[in-house]
Amino acid sequence: MRIFSLLLLTALLVSGCGGSSSNDGSANNGNSGSGQIGGGDNGGSGSDGSGGSGGGGSETPDPIPTPEPMPDPDGTFADQMLTAVNAARAVGRNCGSTFYPAVAPLTWDAKLQSAAQVHSTNMANYNFFNHTGLDGKSASDRVTDQGYAWRSVAENIAAGQKDIDTVMTTWLNSPGHCKNIMGSNYTQMGSAYDMNSGSQYNIYWTQVFATPQ
């Protein structure tokens, strides 16, 4: 049974979202301090035992100037993002009020990167910001579409940040996204971004974390 959870954050000039899924019968479904101001988990318990209920009103950020060009999402981008995530995981930290100890590094997976690229490209091209695609698909659907057989999946999204350092700071300052980055139940990741100067936020980021079956 696969049940998906959404975590949303929106703050002035920056946006980010995170969510998690598992197919072991556990679930989270809702907002968690990312994507919407005052958000909280809207569901049961996830594979890491997290859960809660609540929500929050949203505050839509203003558009920001087009960021400086970044490296293409190739090996250079993958190395930079993976290094940033593993550096964060190497240090115990508080994600909101919960302390997460240091955890093992992740490895990069091309299928998870492809799932992330699909979502970032769609958000940029069609000017929307949500875990659910315009085709109704969730993060776990997009991972499955890439031929990745997963046991657990989590997704962080963000919009408007100019580079990896900035978007990682945004995610780590959001309890829900931070929890995904520090999740001990994930062993692999992929990430991507896409840009469209005609969209509201110009640049759209996606991280996907997973553990294979």
Domain membership flag for residue 76: no
Domain membership flag for residue 80: no
The DSSP line for 182-200 is T-TT--EEEEEEEE-TTSS
pLDDT in the model for residue 141: 98
Domain membership flag for residue 67: no
Domain membership flag for residue 37: yes
Tell whether the model's pLDDT for residue 184 goes beyond 90: yes
Indicate which CATH number applies to the domain containing 104. 3.40.33.10
Domain membership flag for residue 82: no
The DSSP line for 115-173 is HHHHHHHHHHHHT---SS-TTS--HHHHHHHTT--EEEEEEEEEES--SHHHHHHHHHT
* Neighbouring-strand partners of residue 128: none
Q: What is the tally of structural domains in the chain?
A: 1
Name, of 18-27, 68-77, 199-208, the range with top average pLDDT. 199-208
Q: How confident is the model at residue 23 (pLDDT cuts 50, 70, 90)?
A: low
Helix (H) or strand (E) holding 44: none
110-149 pLDDT tens trace: 999 999 999 999 999 999 999 999 999 999 999 999 999 9
Domain membership flag for residue 73: no
- Dist. CA 52–CA 50, nearest whole Å: 7
pLDDT in the model for residue 163: 96
pLDDT in the model for residue 139: 97
Tell whether the model's pLDDT for residue 52 goes beyond 90: no
Domain membership flag for residue 69: no
Domain membership flag for residue 13: yes
Q: Does the global pTM surpass 0.75?
A: no
Domain with 170 in it:
3-61+96-212
- Dist. CA 103–CA 84, nearest whole Å: 14
